[in-house]
Amino acid sequence: GAVVSQHPSRVICKSGTSVKIECRSLDFQATTMFWYRQFPKKSLMLMATSNEGSKATYEQGVEKDKFLINHASLTLSTLTVTSAHPEDSSFYICSARDLVGGETQYFGPGTRLLVL
Amino acid sequence: AQSVSQHNHHVILSEAASLELGCNYSYGGTVNLFWYVQYPGQHLQLLLKYFSGDPLVKGIKGFEAEFIKSKFSFNLRKPSVQWSDTAEYFCAVNEGNAGKSTFGDGTTLTVKP
């Protein structure tokens, strides 16, 4: 089956620093990837849609200058949390859409970010 | 805007009991419907999906879901649950070719051995 990886799986950083999270589709090409944020005991909140070779589309209320998304290739999208603050601590999940499978999204294992 | 409602926040069942988890959505147009499962400590996995055709879809591990267009519903069922079905279940709706999915708040299923 389609596999999506994320790196790192968890990261601890100081307030004010930037953190980059990678999302890779390992065995398929993904023209579209999605970035979600999951709060404890809550559902996934879509942050942005990342399209290969073009600018990401951000959901309402998500600061695009704070959450920089780059989708440079058909298998890699990155999310950079800039000038991180403790309130950015969360579980970030990416997914990649396999067009061959028809609109199905395959999810990465997530990245736990803790900002001190 | 699209919304997805999962009425059951936490369901507790004994093994061999039957399961039905509700999911309703608000979009009136063409939709693709999904159920995902997140086992403890693991990432989201697709259980089943509906795009078109037979409204009763069968997924992995004995799960099935029925799309009832008139009720805007896509309820998940399993006739006999197992302890290993303990997990978080998410319903998601994708508006045709829009690409992005809207998720429900999830239902925590606890199956007692």
For every residue of chain A, DSSP letters joined together read: ---EEEE-SEEEE-TT--EEEEEEESSS--SEEEEEEE-TTS-EEEEEEEETTS--EEPTT--TTTEEEEEEETTEEEEEE-S--GGG-EEEEEEEEEGGGSSEEEE---EEEEE-
Tell me if chain B has a CB within 8 Å of the CB of A115.
no
CA distance B108 to chain A (A): 9
What is the pLDDT averaged over residues A34-59? 88
pLDDT tens digits along B6-33:
988 999 999 999 999 999 999 777 888 9
Determine the pLDDT at residue A102. Answer: 62
pLDDT tens digits along B41-92:
888 889 999 988 999 999 999 999 999 999 999 999 999 999 999 999 999 9
The set of residues, in sequence order, having a beta carbon less than 8 Å from that of B41 and lying 6+ positions away, is none
Tell me if chain B has a CB within 8 Å of the CB of A2.
no
With CB atoms and an 8 Å threshold, state whether A103 touches B32.
yes
Range with top average pLDDT, A40-54, A64-78, B73-87: B73-87
With CB atoms and an 8 Å threshold, state whether B46 touches A102.
no
The more confident residue out of B37 and B41 is: B37
CA distance B5 to chain A (A): 11
With CB atoms and an 8 Å threshold, state whether B44 touches A46.
no
Range from A35-39, A50-54, B16-20 carrying the lowest mean pLDDT:
A50-54
Banded pLDDT at B96 (limits 50, 70, 90): low
